[in-house]
Amino acid sequence: MSHDHIPAVPVTLEGVRRRPGGGAQRRYWKSLDELAETPGFLEFLHREFPEQASSFEDAKGRREFLTLMGASLALAGLTACTKQPEETIFPYVRQPEHMVPGRPLFFATAASHDGYARGILVESNEGRPTKIEGNPDHPQSLGATDVFGQAHVLGLYDPDRSGTVRHLGQERTWGAFRAALGQALEPLGEAGGAGLRILSGRMTSPTLAAQREALRAELPEAQWVSWEPADRDNVRAGATLAFGEAVEPQYRFENADVILSLEADFVSSHPASLRLVREYAARRKVDPLKPEMNRLYVVEGSPTSTGASADHRLALKSSAIEGFARAVAAGLGIGVEGGVDHPWVAPLAKDLERAGARAIVLAGETQPPAVHAIAHAINEALGAVGTTVVYTEPADAASDGTLQDLVADMNAGRVEMLVVTGANPVYAAPADLGFAEALERVPLRIHHGLYLDETAVLCQWHLPAAHPLESWSDARAACGTVSIVQPLIAPLYGGLSIHELVAAFIEGSEPKGYEIVREHWMDVLGGGEGDDFEKAWSRALHDGVVAGTAFEEKAVSVTVGDWARAPEGGPTPGLEIAFRADHGVFDGRFANLGWLQELPRPLTKLTWDNAALMSPATAQKLGGFRTVETGAGHVTDVVELRLGGRVLKAPGWILPGHPDDSVTLHLGYGRTRAGRVGDGAGSNAYALRTSQARWFGTGLEVARTGETMLMACTQDHWTIENTANQAAADRHIVRSATLDEVAADPHVFEHMGHEPKPELSMYPPHEYPGRAWGMAIDMSACVGCNACVTACQSENNVPVVGKEQVGRGREMHWIRVDRYYQGPPESPETFHQPIVCMHCEQAPCEVVCPVAATVHSEEGLNEMVYNRCVGTRYCSNNCPYKVRRFNFFLYQDWDTPTFKMMRNPEVTVRSRGVMEKCTYCVQRISRARIDSGNEGRPIRDGEIRTACEAACPAQAIVFGDVNDPESNVSKWKASPRNYGLLEELQTRPRTTYLAAVRNPNPEIPSEASSPRHHG
């Protein structure tokens, strides 16, 4: 035996011994088997025999050999047409550590949304990040993700991202920029940086904060303004009002029995929403045999998912909520004036008082500071501080002045150089500031961002930014915990991170992002270059959190001030407008991400557009307002919104549960330079939004324009809602009951349906001797946040089809979240029902397929064979749940190179003319089967988590083996709340639902909580 046979892997005893340890990281091998299984050792054994022997064992190798022989013969007679590269190239001789082709690796990092970090794990396939999962070790993520986190990968690969440095529209090099910057900084430096302004988004990065300090040391007069269009200024200001300092409330829903939300949409717009939803939903997974749950009251000026999952939801104009909050505070004996009485106030106050320390009141960022102060005062009075809420310092660094100050400086000619990084003020700044005009007065304007956006085109310099998945950084979560952001891939478009940009201002040197972040943490964690730091650094990178960085609780107490006195001037009559961040495109920054554009909004089910949302009564006042559903989309009347002399046209849309005399318009639409996806979609709400009326404003005028517009809505809308909701009730699609009803009869839900006996089927039942996959979805816990939809889209390579196709009813989502209303349209009860494939045991789709392209697996999966599908669509017609999706066109982008990198390599990219649908993430099942098979053990319960299940912040979805009585899913299905959708059809669905339980306060007079009738 000689080493000559194995030139690729020089195996030495030393090497074999070292192998399991894997180099620097010390690991102990557990057995000789493990040692023997190392690739090197196996190769060593194998290669004992002559070189070619193993190649000829399989036919493929032999064919390859013949091909090569043929090719050589052909080449012998020809001059070679292709050239090998001149440089010496190397194959993978020694595999990088941990790298097994075909097996993804997961790296912990953080996805900042709106500045706040959410811990994520990024799946990397051969170096390509393809999927985001939540990091279970991160306190604000707990393993879940939101829609923005999921869309992170799409943002990375967006082909419309800017890839070149530009000066006055011409392509330049980084070197040219550095030279120009050096020149410009010289006079500025002499003035101490007086004319330099940096405008960025919210800043929670400790490294960036340190860099800012360094910059300040060098250029003391320079100012750094941080600004977000969807700001949380009211939260800060409210805390300052109440406590005298800008503390951040940290809510603890796991301890909360009664929650009152004053327009706080903690489901979709709160820095800690993932954790809050987890804690909230955990208290709503009712065991009917031990009925107990929390109770949520929501008072809101615009319907949200939070309101939809509430036990009591009160639709009040945003401007009227303060009066309500004052009345509640007064009802609790707090010296707050100016309350506006409401029939809910007394019973609500009583309920809060009863819960005492286990109650909590939250105010939303859309409410004025006084409401926040009132909420803080109530929490303190209830004794809730320490139980359901604690206070810490805020995670974000304070800004040097406001955007208004900056614009004033710009107008006054005090700004010589403006650097805009990670913000788009030309598009999103309040309309009254006239940012674009002010910008033109700045002599040198530099834009640093992912896209060549509205702001970029008005700046002389544009610098492409590196995406967070491409760069080193760090960020704090709302609770203070820091995550190191590590890159998964080298910058695709050659951008620089914000740290690298700022470094250019400080030293003029060119440190790499890695060095900047690492050096910062070397200072913080201490230990210099030594082992201690390495250990701590590795641990921080590995875990995705830097241990011990969460903020300490701060003891603060409420000081009663002016805010407690009645506000001057009563509530303003007439129409008001409410602005809200969009559920998908947020403040507009995600406008070019098709996944988010096409995400049906939780309540309106609109995609690709925002709309002037209003109540049925408000729409009626417009006279003849109509929305008509056609096969090409919903044709709706366009309305004209006038506010303070500014005019905007937007499609009108009736939304049940919206307060009367108010119109909601979501931000983030009407972009003009978002990219190919986002340009021209929707109406620009910023055109009406002023710095005074940031979240709501009075004095709105609305009129019909006589024009109509085609909208892409994925579910029924207002005009047929009565029919649809009545039908849904008759069919027991949604089963719900109050906690009292469940307490009186735990089996109340079972009486609502009629499940026929299995032996009534024409076909013999399938047998499932081994595993039987099933899923249960808890409708009590589901808050309709859509994270599952985006997660599925990412995991399963689900294409984006565009507005026109969604309008035609051809959206491709494998999981959808249906929305049903019960009760009057003014104050309906709302239910969310995620629908995946039911994987019926007697699947109607399977029998009708003429070519057997959809078949039953022995584990009970209803499988789609894309190769075999000829596209008759009969299966879809025959599917009672309509979960099947058809490729009417070639929806997948087969050409864009970056999208090829983005796709999950384990899921087929479907072509035109075939049917597709939810597979229960069969690729994950297969992986677990292979892994468990290799390890000679059964698949563990919880080992397979479908993409929707993994993403769900409410943990409302559970998947597993229903043949195993001990599995989680079996336990869920054993609940008296469990029911199958349309079970009377005898389809025997494997996906079942746990009926929704609501916990209304019997003392609250409410139309919505009128007794329900079920068949």
Q: Minimum Å distance from CB 716 to other proteins?
A: 6
Structure tokens at 33: 């088997």
Cβ burial, residue 895 (10 Å; 0-12/13-18/19+) = exposed
DSSP state of 319: G
Q: Name the residue nearer to other proteins (CB basis): 878 or 932.
A: 878
Q: Which of 541, 737, 914, 921 binds other proteins (CB under 8 A)?
A: 914
Type and span of the H or E element at 867 = none
Query: What track of x and - describes contact with other proteins for positions 845 through 864 (by CB under 8 A)?
Result: --xxxxxx------------
For the chain, give the number of residues.
1015
Q: Minimum Å distance from CB 883 to other proteins?
A: 9
Q: Which of 961, 656, 637, 619 is nearest to 831 (CA)?
A: 656
Structure tokens at 929: 């089967």
Q: Which stretch binds other proteins (CB under 8 A): 72-80, 123-131, 312-320, 807-815?
A: 807-815
Q: Minimum Å distance from CB 634 to other proteins?
A: 9
Q: Which of 642, 808, 900, 927 binds other proteins (CB under 8 A)?
A: 808
Q: Which of 8, 555, 560, 870 binds other proteins (CB under 8 A)?
A: 870
DSSP state of 562: G
Q: Which of 255, 302, 805, 830 binds other proteins (CB under 8 A)?
A: 805
| CA 832/CA 839 separation, integer angstroms | 20
| CA 458/CA 423 separation, integer angstroms | 13
Should residue 786 be labelled a site residue for other proteins when binding is judged by CB under 8 A? no
Q: Minimum Å distance from CB 627 to other proteins?
A: 12
Q: Which of 580, 707, 691, 611 is nearest to 644 (CA)?
A: 691
Q: Name the residue nearer to other proteins (CB basis): 106 or 763.
A: 763
Helix, strand or coil, per DSSP, at residue 703: strand
Q: Which of 142, 748, 981, 995 binds other proteins (CB under 8 A)?
A: 981
Alpha-carbon torsion, ordered 269, 270, 271, 275, to 10 deg: -110
Cβ burial, residue 395 (10 Å; 0-12/13-18/19+) = buried
Q: Minimum Å distance from CB 709 to other proteins?
A: 16
| CA 1002/CA 579 separation, integer angstroms | 33
Q: Minimum Å distance from CB 721 to other proteins?
A: 9
Should residue 161 be labelled a site residue for other proteins when binding is judged by CB under 8 A? no
Should residue 514 be labelled a site residue for other proteins when binding is judged by CB under 8 A? no
Q: Which of 632, 744, 930, 974 binds other proteins (CB under 8 A)?
A: 632
Q: Name the residue nearer to other proteins (CB basis): 885 or 998.
A: 885
Helix pair angle (369-382, 321-331), 10° resolution:
20
> Which positions from 824 through 843 interact with other proteins, judged by CB under 8 A?
833, 835
Q: Which stretch binds other proteins (CB under 8 A): 218-226, 479-487, 507-515, 628-636?
A: 628-636
Cα angle vertex 458, ends 455, 463, to 5°? 65
Should residue 548 be labelled a site residue for other proteins when binding is judged by CB under 8 A? no
Q: Minimum Å distance from CB 952 to other proteins?
A: 19
Q: Minimum Å distance from CB 208 to other proteins?
A: 45
Q: Which of 263, 470, 741, 818 binds other proteins (CB under 8 A)?
A: 818
Token look-up 């529209």 returns 169
Q: Name the residue nearer to other proteins (CB basis): 286 or 785.
A: 785
Query: What track of x and - describes contact with other proteins for positions 697 through 736 (by CB under 8 A)?
Result: ------------------xx---x--xxx-xx-xx-x---
Q: Minimum Å distance from CB 250 to other proteins?
A: 37
Should residue 629 be labelled a site residue for other proteins when binding is judged by CB under 8 A? yes
Q: Name the residue nearer to other proteins (CB basis): 67 or 722.
A: 722
Helices vs strands, H then E, count in the chain: 32, 39
Q: Minimum Å distance from CB 885 to other proteins?
A: 6
Q: Name the residue nearer to other proteins (CB basis): 643 or 734.
A: 734
Applying CB under 8 A, what is the total number of residues that bind other proteins? 59
Helix, strand or coil, per DSSP, at residue 884: coil
> Which positions from 202 through 241 interact with other proteins, judged by CB under 8 A?
none
| CA 193/CA 219 separation, integer angstroms | 5
Q: Name the residue nearer to other proteins (CB basis): 180 or 847.
A: 847
Q: Which stretch binds other proteins (CB under 8 A): 118-126, 608-616, 815-823, 932-940?
A: 815-823
Q: Which of 494, 809, 824, 905 binds other proteins (CB under 8 A)?
A: 809
| CA 66/CA 706 separation, integer angstroms | 73
Q: Name the residue nearer to other proteins (CB basis): 293 or 994.
A: 994
Q: Name the residue nearer to other proteins (CB basis): 724 or 928.
A: 724
Q: Which of 350, 649, 766, 810 binds other proteins (CB under 8 A)?
A: 810
Q: Minimum Å distance from CB 915 to other proteins?
A: 8
Q: Minimum Å distance from CB 788 to other proteins?
A: 15
Q: Minimum Å distance from CB 871 to other proteins?
A: 2
Question: Using an 8 Å Cβ cutoff, are 229 and 667 in contact?
Answer: yes
Query: What track of x and - describes contact with other proteins for positions 359 through 398 (by CB under 8 A)?
Result: ----------------------------------------
Question: Using an 8 Å Cβ cutoff, are 969 and 774 in contact?
Answer: yes
> For the residues of 789-846, what is the DSSP string, one character each?
HHHHHHHTTPPP--HHHHHTT----SSEEEEEEES-TTS-EEEEEEE-----TT-HHH
| CA 239/CA 155 separation, integer angstroms | 34
Question: Using an 8 Å Cβ cutoff, are 786 and 955 in contact?
Answer: no
| CA 858/CA 512 separation, integer angstroms | 54
Contacts of 118 (CB under 8 A, 6+ apart): 110, 111, 112, 134, 138, 140, 141, 145, 146, 149, 274, 477
Q: Which of 699, 565, 680 is nearest to 641 (CA)?
A: 699
> Which positions from 876 through 895 interact with other proteins, judged by CB under 8 A?
876-878, 880-882, 884-890
Token look-up 């006038």 returns 642
Query: How many CA atoms lie less than 13 Å away from 555 in the CB half-sphere?
Result: 0
Q: Minimum Å distance from CB 428 to other proteins?
A: 34
Q: Name the residue nearer to other proteins (CB basis): 820 or 899.
A: 820
Structure tokens at 104: 């993804």
Q: Minimum Å distance from CB 827 to other proteins?
A: 21
Q: Minimum Å distance from CB 633 to other proteins?
A: 9
Q: Name the residue nearer to other proteins (CB basis): 533 or 653.
A: 653
CA gyration radius, the chain: 30
Q: Which stretch binds other proteins (CB under 8 A): 322-330, 543-551, 611-619, 865-873?
A: 865-873
Q: Name the residue nearer to other proteins (CB basis): 744 or 851.
A: 851
Question: Using an 8 Å Cβ cutoff, are 753 and 935 in contact?
Answer: no
Chain centre to alpha carbon of residue 43: 45
Positions of E strands within 556-675: 576-580, 606-607, 612-614, 627-630, 633-643, 646-654, 662-666
Question: Using an 8 Å Cβ cutoff, are 418 and 442 in contact?
Answer: yes
Q: Name the residue nearer to other proteins (CB basis): 873 or 929.
A: 873
| Positions that interact with other proteins (CB under 8 A) | 629-632, 715-716, 720, 723-725, 727-728, 730-731, 733, 805, 808-810, 816, 818-820, 833, 835, 844, 847-852, 868-874, 876-878, 880-882, 884-890, 912-915, 981-982, 985
